[in-house]
Amino acid sequence: MNLNLRFLTVVSAVILLAGIHESSAKDSPDDGWQTLFDGKTLNGWTANEKPDSFVVEDGCIHCRNGFAHLFYTGPVNHAVFTNFELRAEFKTAPGANSGIFFHTANEGSGKVTKGYEAQICSPTHKDWRKTGSLYAIVDLKEAAAPDNKWSTFMIRVEGKHITLKVNDQTTVDYTEPANPVREKGRERRLLSSGTFALQGHDATSQTWFRNLRVKVLPD
């Protein structure tokens, strides 16, 4: 092996090891990250209705079979979050509609009225509010993620400030005003505290979630 080839081999090995170390350290419990979904069961999650709308498949939560919401009710922070950063991976089938609610609560069947929704919506779904929107507050007309591919969603709340990122691109940077005006029926789209919920939508809507984890931030 000549000197140049040996040098390139050593450099490549160093870069590879550094990458492995960085990957293994990312989102570790030592950094405050905690897992919300074990990848095997729905332990710590509760549907408000139609429990068969949510199943675990291949390490994912599969949202299917109609309108319902799956609430986090597990032990992490007693399922009450104020300031936090949530990270999740998601994938939509064509025509899918879903979302991640935060600062919310399970109040029974029907629509979720408490808290905000980070919208997930296929480019081909009839709802014009697309993936990356803060639903009915800051809305996008073009989806920030394609169908049939895994994407990342980041939701961060600090005080009155909400940041949404899809695939590391900021889609919403919103500060809740002192006296926000909301549409009728959405008066409780306000920052307070609460849990998270995944949305199942119309009967043909198919959405998958995995690697759901949260980091609680100081108040």
- Tens digits of residue pLDDT in 149-174: 999 999 999 999 999 999 999 999 99
Using 50, 70 and 90 to split pLDDT, how confident is the model at 198? very high
Q: What are the structure tokens assigned to 82, written together?
A: 């104020």
Same domain, 128 and 188: yes
Instruction: For residues 172-198, give the mean pLDDT.
Output: 95
Burial state string for 85-106 with b = 16 or more CB within 10 A and e = fewer than 16: bbbbebbbeebbbbbbbbbbbb
Task: Quick: pLDDT tens for 31-65.
Answer: 999 999 999 999 999 999 999 999 999 999 999 98
If one counts the domains in the chain, the total is 2
Cβ neighbour number for residue 125 with a 10 Å cutoff: 23
Closest listed residue to residue 132, CA positions, set 161, 102, 154? 154
pLDDT at 65: 84
Domain, as residue range, for 160:
32-216
Closest listed residue to residue 150, CA positions, set 58, 42, 35? 58
Same domain, 112 and 159: yes
The answer for residues whose C-beta is within 8 angstroms of residue 43's C-beta and 6 or more apart is: 74
Supply the CATH number for residue 43's domain. 2.60.120.560
Same domain, 144 and 52: yes
Closest listed residue to residue 99, CA positions, set 49, 138, 53, 134? 134
